[in-house]
Amino acid sequence: MLSKLNSLLAQTDISLTDQQKQQLVDFVRLLDKWNKAYNLTSVRNPDEMLVKHIMDSLVVSPYLEGERFIDVGTGPGLPGIPLAITNPDKQFVLLDSLGKRITFIKNALRELGIQNVTPVLSRVEEYTEQQFDGILSRAFASLDDMVNWCYHLPNEQGKFYALKGVYDESEVQAIKKPIELTKVVKLEVPELVGERHLVILKKA
């Protein structure tokens, strides 16, 4: 699996240490192992997880600005855990409302020795403890829902980072809260079939 990860990384500008690569591979192994009992992801093949979960998360890394991030509806820790491994200088809160996912994340953090992640079991609209430089979401409902439920989370400079498939401009126009579109980035994920976009928004 390590050689597969290396060949995927070679198709990007992302450079990682041997330790980071090992952590990513070990994370996939844990995800694969726990998935059988916990049903954490519909992706069953570990090599496919490298593409659809790990690389799909990592390509966002160059666009993150700031030090404190929250991954809302993180599921089994995506994109939060791959991004935390890649950015040990940044702090991540991983939030999900399902206990079994947070249990998996806590175990993964312990086994992988990851220090810069705080797992939180909560609904996003009820989490009001701190504000962030970036709000991350992958496979979240709509942009309107994301902004609506997370509007209290960014600090003054904070941005929303939404990982989407096909970019639909009408989805941005449908957002009801005061918001401005900062950037839309077409992401290149090695060996992934289908489009991926990063939509970056901030409060207007």
Give the separation between CA 142 and CA 147, rounded to whole angstroms.
9
Binding-site annotation: residue ranges? 73, 78, 124-125, 138
Q: Evaluate whether 66 touches 133 at the Cβ level (below 8 Å).
A: yes
Q: Evaluate whether 44 touches 52 at the Cβ level (below 8 Å).
A: no
What is the value of pTM for the model shown? 0.97
Binding-site annotation: residue ranges for S-adenosyl-L-methionine? 73, 78, 124-125, 138
Give the separation between CA 170 and CA 98, rounded to whole angstroms.
31
Q: How much of the chain, in percent, has pLDDT values that exceed 70?
A: 100
Residues of the chain with pLDDT under 50: none
pLDDT for 71-80, tens place per residue? 999 999 999 9
The H-assigned helical ranges of the chain are 2-9, 18-38, 46-49, 56-58, 80-86, 99-112, 143-150, 169-173
